[in-house]
Chains A and B, each alone.
Chain A
Amino acid sequence: GAGVSQSPSNKVTEKGKDVELRCDPISGHTALYWYRQSLGQGLEFLIYFQGNSAPDKSGLPSDRFSAERTGGSVSTLTIQRTQQEDSAVYLCASSSARFSGGRDNEQFFGPGTRLTVL
């Protein structure tokens, strides 16, 4: 079946511009996660959705970052007034998690969007 898809795969933008990154999770997965990974670094958690609501936004680095999810499916991560330090690979993952502790927590990742801010 289809996995997690993300678009665009690459995005080059100028400092100060806004960007939108899209994630389409595995069909039926209720949980959706956004991460950021800078070159040679670990995964940095940004935000988590359960259905359309975001119980945990604790990882968003600043108020320039926002995300939404509609219809319990596609999610968009928006970065306003991009800065050079926003350059990274943005990864989306989904799982069927409805509660903690079980197999539902298995997350499956999309291919990522490589964002370069000039």
Chain B
Amino acid sequence: QKEVEQNSGPLSVPEGAIASLNCTYSDRGSQSFFWYRQYSGKSPELIMSIYSNGDKEDGRFTAQLNKASQYVSLLIRDSQPSDSATYLCAVNRDDKIIFGKGTRLHILP
């Protein structure tokens, strides 16, 4: 089992709809969870971090964490064309951060 798994996509979502991105991880000891956005040709940009079970909202973004199920997700409300990017899920293992391979999100105008 890969340490951090994401569906590679592409995930196509109509403009204005909710985009739902999912990630599972294998290390039950992980305590820090991150979502990065990476535009083509650019470096990853941290958009959300979450450390406890439940939801965390920041503007149009909501991160959800379920440690029992080893599952973390990112919801993007009112999707915009500018949200089209690859979204990387990242999880800590000790002092190292393990990245998933990312999900490509395409917002359809």
Number of interface residues of B (CB under 8 A): 23
> Please, which residue of chain B has its CB at the minimum distance from the CB of A3?
B43
Given contacts A56-B96, A102-B32, contact A43 B46 (CB under 8 A): no
| Among A48, A99, A102, contact of B51 (Cβ-Cβ < 8 Å) | A102
Q: At the interface with chain A, which of B12-20, B63-71, B98-106?
A: B98-106
B residues lining the A interface (CB < 8 Å): 31-32, 34, 42-46, 49, 51, 88, 90, 92-102
Q: Report how far A41 CA is from B96 CA in the complex, Å.
A: 19
Chain B neighbourhood of A97, CB < 8 A = 95
| Among A99, A100, A109, contact of B44 (Cβ-Cβ < 8 Å) | A109
Chain B neighbourhood of A103, CB < 8 A = 32, 49, 51
> Please, which residue of chain A has its CB at the minimum distance from the CB of B101?
A42
Chain A neighbourhood of B45, CB < 8 A = 109
Is the C-beta of A18 less than 8 angstroms from some C-beta in chain B? no
Chain A 91-118 per-residue mask, 1 if CB under 8 angstroms from chain B, else 0: 1000001011111011111111000000
Q: Report how far A50 CA is from B45 CA in the complex, Å.
A: 22
Is the C-beta of A71 less than 8 angstroms from some C-beta in chain B? no
Complex interface residues of chain A between 38 and 59 (CB less than 8 A to chain B): 41-43, 45, 48, 50, 55-56
| Among B43, B46, B96, B99, contact of A106 (Cβ-Cβ < 8 Å) | B46
Q: Are B43 and A111 in contact (CB under 8 A)?
A: yes
Q: Report how far A110 CA is from B31 CA in the complex, Å.
A: 24
The interface centre, meaning the residue of B88, B92, B96, B102 with most chain A CB atoms within 10 A of its CB, is B96
